[in-house]
Structure 1
Amino acid sequence: MKKIRKAVALLMGIVALALVSCASVEKTPSYTYTEQEVQLNAGMYYVPGILVKPKLKAGQKIPVVVMLHGTASQKNEVGNLYQRLAVSLAKRGYASLRIDFAGTGDSLADYKLYNLTTAKHDTKTALNYLVRQEIFDLDRMGLVGFSQGGLIAQLVAAEDERIKAMVTWSSVVGDGVTVFESFFDKYYAEAKDNGFAVVEFPWREEPLNFGLQWFNEIKNNTSFTDMKNYQGKLLAVAGTEDTLVPPVSSTRLVNSIGPARASLMLVKDADHMFNVLADSNENTLAEDQTIPESVLQSTTDWFAKTL
């Protein structure tokens, strides 16, 4: 009888161990990814970035997306939206590289160097870096641009055939000054007098010095006209309650490309930053992340279908 009891106890222990093992397997994510900080030589300065790669199979080529942040932001973006997007993409087998433009985030360059020309150059520096890595599928390269980052994305995509798919979030659209008109009214005279204008933002401790060249290049910008050269696909995402860059901008961009290659996603009740923050002046996350999560999911799903 003792032998039988011991045998039963041993059997029960084996079953319990098996159940624990199964539970552990179920809790283990089916994806893994790595994050790597990079410093890209752009000539006058280095461009900081974070490269995220999903787990690779031997000999596998993977698609990759470059993320371009908006004005007075940085590579992780407001509410860490780009960091969160990088993880979402990695789960679907997509790599990403998010960068800091000159003078922002971890960049050691002077912000006075930031303008449309240098931002395009920083983006192409990132693309060139990716091209030199053997693991990336060079026929499946994309861009994401947020706000002014969306304008930079358009400028790059219009002249760089490597871009096959692009997503814009709350993007600046149009030739010339467009949505920057009030900004010009307030700061352009100062920039002409001093060579730069000191601009304060409520969510930043230090102001940014906008160089005169930034103002002049915005005035002469032809991004909307030049987008006729872009042959890839586009998803434009905009909030219906965006008062900074009204959603009609994204509608214009999609209409200019046509329904065969461009899609519009209007996010109901969303502001310029898709309601990711509870208070934009304090950079505090909103408790309800439903809207930003829907933007992240839709962006990821769209790339999975088109890139």
Structure 2
Amino acid sequence: METFASLRVDGQSVYGMLHLPDTEAPAHGHPSVLILHGFTGSRSSDHRLLVLLSRYLVTLGVASLRIDFRGSGDSQGDFSEMTVSREIEDTVAAFAYLRQYPGLDPERVMLLGFSMGGMVAALSSPQVRPHRLALWAPALPELWLKALPGGFLPPVVTDQGGWPLGRAFLQELPRLRPLESARQWGGEALVFHGDQDATVPPEVGVRYAAALGCEAVGIPGAGHTFDSLEAVDLLHRETARFLLGR
């Protein structure tokens, strides 16, 4: 079953899509995973990457919630207000939503983040304590910092290809320590990265894996959005295998 989800964070609505297995729930409830999209993305993501993952997981008895961060997709707020800290707040609220949802196991709520969503997931993990953590092509703050003109912050808003990128987002980046958060968490994790990723180099995924004490799985021939049918199939199958503990 697929149903719309809505939760409030700091007076604004975060919207998402909740996927629930049609099978009878185990005694403790179905496992679930919160799925976080990337920078300028939405809960569907590139070529429906996240939608298809949710629909695949539900056939395996795993529920999922895909949210639009505030300022993205259908959720309230403006993109100019977006910061990583705000996305962490959205993550914490959505994680609590899954933990309290009837028929879901509150102890087996997992977390998956793609690109900047992977960085948000790593930063959130010590607080939400996911049962398992999966990162797809996780980014680091340097990805945006290196693009600053002359190393200086813009006065208010930068036109990021039609997206109004706020000064607060850039101002916060140097203070973020996603690898330290990953190290601090220390639970079951797995990193997936396309070996042809030109947006977030594969060595970044290796750094995350080292911090998490886990493996980094290379997806052969895949770019940042895992942009082939073969790559997506492999990514989804191996992600599901990890989330199910197989």
Shorter-chain TM-score range: over 0.9
Distance 1:172 1:46 in 2: 26
**Equivalent residue, structure 1, for 2:227:** 275
* Aligned-partner residue type, residue 46 of structure 1: S
* Aligned-partner residue type, residue 209 of structure 2: V
**Equivalent residue, structure 1, for 2:233:** 293
**Equivalent residue, structure 2, for 1:286:** none
Report the alpha carbon displacement of residue 189 of structure 1 after superposing the two structures with TM.
3.5
1:219 and 2:174 matched: yes
Q: How does 1:119-268 map to 2 (within 5 A)?
A: 119-161=87-129, 163-173=130-140, 177-185=141-149, 189-190=153-154, 193=155, 195-200=156-161, 207-258=162-213, 262-268=214-220
Report the alpha carbon displacement of residue 233 of structure 1 after superposing the two structures with TM.
1.0
Gapped regions of structure 2 (runs ≥ 5): none
Deviations 1:52-80 (A, max 9, x none): 00014266401110000001110011111
Distance 1:231 1:136 in 2: 24
> Scaled by the length of structure 1, what TM-score is found?
0.76
Deviations 1:127-159 (A, max 9, x none): 111222231111111111110000000011022
Structure 1 residues 188 and 90: CA distance shift in structure 2, 3 A: farther
Task: Could you list the structure 1 runs, at least 4 aligned residues long, displaced by more than 4 angstroms after superposition.
Answer: none
Report the alpha carbon displacement of residue 226 of structure 1 after superposing the two structures with TM.
2.2
Distance 1:146 1:186 in 2: 29
Deviations 1:253-272 (A, max 9, x none): 112232xxx22111121111
Structure 1 residues 187 and 48: CA distance shift in structure 2, 3 A: farther
Q: Percent of counterpart pairs with the same letter?
A: 24
Report the alpha carbon displacement of residue 187 of structure 1 after superposing the two structures with TM.
9.0
* Aligned-partner residue type, residue 211 of structure 2: S
**Equivalent residue, structure 2, for 1:77:** 45
When Rg is computed on C-alpha atoms for both structures, the one with the higher figure is: 1
Contact 2:196/2:223, CA 8 A, preserved across alignment: yes
Distance 2:181 2:207 in 1: 14
Contact 1:236/1:264, CA 8 A, preserved across alignment: yes
- The alignment covers a number of residue pairs equal to 245
> Scaled by the length of structure 2, what TM-score is found?
0.94
Deviations 1:93-115 (A, max 9, x none): 00000000111111231112211
Deviations 1:201-231 (A, max 9, x none): xxxxxx2111111111111111211222213
Structure 1 residues 92 and 178: CA distance shift in structure 2, 3 A: same
Distance 1:103 1:184 in 2: 22
RMSD between aligned residues? 1.7
